[in-house]
Amino acid sequence: MRYMTRTVDLPGGTALPLIGFGTWQLGSRAAYEGVRAALDIGYRHIDTATLYRNEADVGRAVKESGVDREDVFITTKLRPQDARHARRTLESSLRLLDTGYVDLWLIHWPTAQDELVPTWRELLSAQEAGLVRNVGVSNFSPAQIDLLTEATGRQPAVNQISWSPAQHDPALLDEHRRRGIVVEGYSGLKNTDLRDPVLTGIARRHGATPAQVVLRWHLEHDIVILPRSSRREHIAANFDLEALTLTKEDIAAIDTLSRTR
């Protein structure tokens, strides 16, 4: 099997693997087993959050996988309700993950408007202290991102937002691209009808599954993917996207599933 090893460089110089393993809603055992399976299959990027309550399981799985910590990109996220004690929350994340640093720390979703900049400063200060290699946001609008950048001169490396064929919004992608911000798309499988005839037709022609078609379509738009599964065969299939080459026509047909236009 060939593995996807493509990465995108973040401003700090860290390479972010384009395929991450999502862990939302994976309880203790499923998170541990899922991360072990993902690392075994070749994933080198794991997405967790304080909210998911599985950082300890993710950390143990990384440790016991035998893969070097330096070779795994770990993201965790700060809940807005923890913003006032951000550093303490990060220290707890690091303890649970059993690591000295995370590769990416995100504000999980926007705080109240007047807390946005102070919270961003907390992330920047953690980065300066070497506790996190990159900092970013999730579920932010371009205007909210601009507020952070204008106040501090430092812009988020990443915005993690919900993305799927039905939500495809080229103008919004462009807003991120113009600023040099990497888009990570979440819930791309969950928010897609995998029985849609456009997807099943393309999948059939390429000998792939509709889920693989959706994931590969994200990559064609330079969107980092974070598929989550508790089934090893899905975890493997979601990573095995190398051989699936979508044509321009395929991509355009999937783009038309968008409801944002």
In the complex, least distance from residue 78 CB atom to ligand NAP, rounded to whole angstroms: 11
125 binds ligand NAP (CB under 6 A): no
**HSE toward the beta carbon, residue 190, CA cutoff 13 A:** 13
**Strand pairing category for 158-162 and 132-138:** parallel
Contacting residue, 58, 72, 86, 189, with ligand NAP by CB under 6 A:
189
How many other CB atoms are there within 10 angstroms of residue 70's CB atom?
A: 8
In the complex, least distance from residue 87 CB atom to ligand NAP, rounded to whole angstroms: 21
Closest residue by Cα to residue 129 from 158, 91, 72: 91
In the complex, least distance from residue 163 CB atom to ligand NAP, rounded to whole angstroms: 9
Contacting residue, 223, 238, 240, 257, with ligand NAP by CB under 6 A:
238
Residues in the chain: 261
127 binds ligand NAP (CB under 6 A): no
- CA distances from residue 122 to 41, 152, 208, 213, 256 in whole angstroms, order as listed: 35, 11, 44, 39, 41
Closest residue by Cα to residue 223 from 201, 254, 249, 261: 254
Distant-in-sequence, close-in-space partners of 8: CB < 8 Å, separation ≥ 6: 15, 16, 18, 182, 222, 224
188 binds ligand NAP (CB under 6 A): yes
Contacting residue, 6, 53, 190, 206, with ligand NAP by CB under 6 A:
190
52 catalytically annotated: yes
> Catalytic one among 32, 43, 52, 101?
52
In the complex, least distance from residue 153 CB atom to ligand NAP, rounded to whole angstroms: 25
Sites for ligand NAP among residues 129-168 (CB under 6 A): 138-139, 160
In the complex, least distance from residue 137 CB atom to ligand NAP, rounded to whole angstroms: 9
Contacting residue, 43, 73, 101, 186, with ligand NAP by CB under 6 A:
186
Sites for ligand NAP among residues 14-53 (CB under 6 A): 22-24, 47
Q: Catalytic residues, which ones? A: 52
Interacting residues with ligand NAP (CB under 6 A): 22-24, 47, 108, 138-139, 160, 186-190, 209, 211, 226-231, 234, 237-238
